[in-house]
Structure 1
């Protein structure tokens, strides 16, 4: 019966947990190992079933700002990966899944089963601010399959996650290729098999395909169970998650899982008179990219199998017939595991009939080239075969006569060996060998560089290259900040960097480069981290003051801020430069202490907190009472006299230059009296006014008396 496959490479042993469903399948396999052997020591085939593998994580290494770990392959054919993150500490860990899990009742659980007791990863932002996003990157050992696996982001509430991935060719995958499947709440009431958390069915994150961002509830409130899941539809080389705090102190969770299925078939001998199963044929399982995943051998009944490989399309099984035999079916057959097991990948072979023609196809470095088409043309018409993984090919039943052997160079190669000729003599059974070809790979010119901030690598920055004819390529910088575009057409290329959240470009954000016959290197960009300044305005008692204006002077010119209800102010996303914040006291207040603060933001992106101001209320002055003043006198202070000099005139009894009583009245100046230095008309007018008032008052009194 079918023997188990042998992996192409043997990783170092490590303890690995399996999902309950996968454990059941492996237990069945163990029974087969212990009691299912048939004659000849070949294993009986295990029953086919879809299995699920959830991610196993190594313990975290490093510390806050620099975490790393590795993730084991999820299933056969799925690559392992290395993770790095600049998340802050506190709650960051690989979690066992014993208290929080994705139940079988969730959308992802309906497809991949429950994740109970399966590991997941808790991470946080780099710092607890809107500009302190953390960047987490998974770098796979080789591109992932194009389907059959998922990643889930959980506890998305008071935060948001931008999802970016690069494909096998280094380009940035589209939102469609990321394969967002929807949001759900794994704590929702009534959900079968859920953990003991309490959530709301409608509390699910929203997905913006334009920015590839998964955002929690609109109020940015800390809740439970909000999650979203993805099934990529293209191979993934790197996966980057940029996690940003919106409020509070959030964490987010990450799960990985894959479906696994089996490939099996039968190898049959169709040699006339010897038809039946063929034992001992070598079969190789190739991945979607042509990589060797595992080998197996046909058993006495001709059967073989490869078990537990990621449920995707693009696999191929390659047959290497035993010595003396040649395949009559194609030597490579496709195997599609995307919806079910591939259980009928069958081959046929027959004995070789001389004369046979054989050879190899290699590159200019001597490495074998599999999958290359070779044609032998002569009497009876052309015969076409495809080279095996070791570069070899074989054509038997070549008739007598002259023949020409040609090779069809695949894309990216040119043939260095011209067509070969040979002759098969009459009655010859001698094989024709050494019909070998050498192909040369076309030169691949690349363009590469790095993105840094203050000399530190910046992973996850989007780099776009636009070349001749408008060809556009995109990629994300790796963990070391580096990026590369390969196999570029010659000509002018424009390279642009789009900084990730929390950074700004220093200097030119676009560089013009010319691609020729050699690699273009050191196309580097410098970024600066954005800074922030914040504080509070209070009175002398420490009470927050809302609505207070502050003036900000910086590289972009002046601006204003206003304190909120808690007296706080904040200025985020500050490019490098010097900033001065000055408080403008409202009416009734004065500044008690410094009226301004000046900070300098460098490319390191400093965050200045507690840049606060204190205002003092201006004292209200006490009201004052003014004593009334006496009215002015209406005339000279001396009483008028009725003396003989001028009876009844009101003139002073004595005045400078006046004659004494009994005088003649002539005066020393010929009879004119000297004045006192003031105009006599003023006192006369006042006297007249008083007389009128007095007469009026008397008349009123008399009228009042007459009316009584």
Structure 2
């Protein structure tokens, strides 16, 4: 039976609005991290959630009470600051307030952020604020768990978020006006494996420093120590937003609507899915910087021209032109029918039928019906191996050339393959040991006295041996000789 050639000219055009399905919130003005905090003094924990594609982040801190997560409505970083020029205003976005372990020298708190996968090596950052009467030491581990060089921590600069307009009036009302001199700034020192921000001592407001790490991190740690006054510091996290966009066409000209595309991260996790619009375009907006892959699900009846998965790097900028092309699948395909019987010609139902190509890949598979019949559909022309395995039986393999001229007739063994019984190793037979021939032993001559040793001569009584004595001795000697003869002969 030949079913092919089968050809589908095009995919039906389905009107579809561009959709994006992804975990996380929608980020409009700026991609600031959403922060949660639980626990109490000396034992806090929390999470930081950044745009889709940024690894999940958890943290722990032994800050003394009370730590908090303000909403950002009354204290924020203005868009007019160096940090804000990169990430936008933080107004309305949360940050975390932490303290030392104790308000005493030598009692810093340690706060460690752990990323469940390496972070992007660019395009995101964090800012430490209110570093005025205290000291903050920043360290990190890279993707391999090794200490990060101080220069790679990406310290950008110090600034004062009150030196901008607009600015939070509650915190910055007592300082000079924006643009005037006199704003407090922490001192910064980039060490071999750390960056230290040191406040000037007076408890002022707005003194800050910001970072954009230049390598992928697996963890980030801040040690915060008291100097004077009432120490507390703020931490903001933010990420730039990237997008991936392209178009899907048929024969490099006709836009294809309704084609599904999937965005995956570096660990193979699905970040988002979408479908092409009426004009064949698609987009993945609002994702974190990093490396991704876009995979097109090829519609039935079409084949991809070139790869159906493309790598995308948006660490530094958006990616456009991530395009895919399709063409009709003109491959001729055929049905491969057949019947499976046992050696007596009886049909074998429920036998597994598998067709493999030269590389051992499965091209088609099915099972036989109650009459032992099967049909393998949609098989391109070529050379294959047919493997038939009855239930509980042994596989039978035969070469098959497609298209077939007539239904295949396969004889298979429904009996299970016998397990060979191991042949016991014969135990070596010992050669009989030759027993020495027993030498005849003469019967001892009766002793006239229990005190006499056998073999000794009879004592001389001086009377000599009488006839009766001689007769007795002769009879005894004859009996002994007869017994010896029987032992030797018998």
TM-score by length of 2: 0.60
* Alignment partners' CA distance in 2, 1:213 and 1:176: 8
Look up the SS of the partner of 2:151 in the other structure.
helix
Aligned 8 A contact 1:168 1:235 in 2: yes
The CA deviation at 1:211 is 4.3
The CA deviation at 1:131 is 1.5
The CA deviation at 1:158 is 2.3
The CA deviation at 1:144 is 2.5
Confirm whether residue 194 of structure 1 aligns to residue 177 of structure 2.
no
The CA deviation at 1:202 is 6.1
Q: Where does residue 252 of structure 1 map in the other structure?
A: 233
The CA deviation at 1:81 is 2.1
Q: Where does residue 319 of structure 1 map in the other structure?
A: 296
The CA deviation at 1:139 is 2.2
The CA deviation at 1:426 is 7.6
Q: Where does residue 163 of structure 1 map in the other structure?
A: 138
5+ residue gaps, structure 1: 23-50, 357-374, 378-395, 404-421, 429-708
Q: Where does residue 80 of structure 1 map in the other structure?
A: 56
Cα-to-partner distance string for 1:167-220 (whole Å, 9 max, x where unaligned): 3333333223321111111123xx222223126346233132324132224x53
Q: Where does residue 266 of structure 1 map in the other structure?
A: 247
Confirm whether residue 345 of structure 1 aligns to residue 322 of structure 2.
yes
The CA deviation at 1:352 is 2.4
Aligned 8 A contact 1:2 1:304 in 2: no
- After superposition, residues 291-310 of structure 1 pair within 5 angstroms as 291-310=269-288
| Higher RCO structure (Cα 8 Å, ≥6 apart) | 2
Confirm whether residue 5 of structure 1 aligns to residue 23 of structure 2.
no
Cα-to-partner distance string for 1:660-691 (whole Å, 9 max, x where unaligned): xxxxxxxxxxxxxxxxxxxxxxxxxxxxxxxx
Q: Check 1:232–1:192 CA distance in 2 against 1; reply closer, same or farther (3 A cut).
A: same
Q: Where does residue 616 of structure 1 map in the other structure?
A: none
Look up the SS of the partner of 2:189 in the other structure.
strand
Look up the SS of the partner of 1:238 in the other structure.
strand
Structure 2 residue corresponding to 1:108, chosen from 77, 80, 83 = 83
Q: Check 1:78–1:289 CA distance in 2 against 1; reply closer, same or farther (3 A cut).
A: same
Aligned 8 A contact 1:262 1:337 in 2: yes
* Alignment partners' CA distance in 2, 1:423 and 1:242: 71
* Alignment partners' CA distance in 2, 1:240 and 1:376: 55
The CA deviation at 1:54 is 1.4
Q: Where does residue 178 of structure 1 map in the other structure?
A: 153
The CA deviation at 1:317 is 0.9
Q: Where does residue 69 of structure 1 map in the other structure?
A: 46
The CA deviation at 1:339 is 4.5
Aligned 8 A contact 2:123 2:316 in 1: no
The CA deviation at 1:88 is 0.8
* Alignment partners' CA distance in 1, 2:261 and 2:74: 44
Q: Where does residue 92 of structure 2 map in the other structure?
A: 117
* Alignment partners' CA distance in 1, 2:158 and 2:93: 21
Q: Check 1:424–1:225 CA distance in 2 against 1; reply closer, same or farther (3 A cut).
A: farther
Look up the SS of the partner of 2:152 in the other structure.
helix
Q: Check 1:167–1:326 CA distance in 2 against 1; reply closer, same or farther (3 A cut).
A: farther
Q: Check 1:109–1:424 CA distance in 2 against 1; reply closer, same or farther (3 A cut).
A: farther
The CA deviation at 1:74 is 2.0
Q: Where does residue 632 of structure 1 map in the other structure?
A: none
Aligned 8 A contact 2:125 2:237 in 1: yes
The CA deviation at 1:399 is 8.5
- After superposition, residues 454-469 of structure 1 pair within 5 angstroms as none
* Alignment partners' CA distance in 1, 2:53 and 2:108: 33
Look up the SS of the partner of 1:144 in the other structure.
coil
Cα-to-partner distance string for 1:311-338 (whole Å, 9 max, x where unaligned): x242221112112222112222233434
* Alignment partners' CA distance in 2, 1:258 and 1:150: 6
Confirm whether residue 279 of structure 1 aligns to residue 294 of structure 2.
no
Structure 1 residue corresponding to 2:212, chosen from 227, 231, 234 = 231
Look up the SS of the partner of 1:150 in the other structure.
strand
Cα-to-partner distance string for 1:501-520 (whole Å, 9 max, x where unaligned): xxxxxxxxxxxxxxxxxxxx
* Superposition RMSD in Å: 3.3
5+ residue gaps, structure 2: 1-15, 177-181, 334-356, 360-377, 386-398, 406-490
* Alignment partners' CA distance in 2, 1:204 and 1:103: 18
Q: Check 1:163–1:427 CA distance in 2 against 1; reply closer, same or farther (3 A cut).
A: farther
Look up the SS of the partner of 1:177 in the other structure.
helix
Q: Where does residue 203 of structure 1 map in the other structure?
A: 185
* Alignment partners' CA distance in 1, 2:155 and 2:380: 55
Q: Where does residue 57 of structure 1 map in the other structure?
A: 35
* Alignment partners' CA distance in 1, 2:187 and 2:97: 18
TM-score by length of 1: 0.42
* Alignment partners' CA distance in 1, 2:285 and 2:215: 23
Q: Check 1:79–1:207 CA distance in 2 against 1; reply closer, same or farther (3 A cut).
A: same
Confirm whether residue 212 of structure 1 aligns to residue 200 of structure 2.
no
Aligned 8 A contact 2:74 2:168 in 1: yes
Confirm whether residue 334 of structure 1 aligns to residue 349 of structure 2.
no
Structure 1 residue corresponding to 2:124, chosen from 149, 160, 173 = 149
The CA deviation at 1:151 is 0.6
Aligned 8 A contact 1:264 1:303 in 2: yes
Aligned 8 A contact 2:149 2:192 in 1: no
Look up the SS of the partner of 2:86 in the other structure.
helix
Q: Check 1:180–1:376 CA distance in 2 against 1; reply closer, same or farther (3 A cut).
A: farther
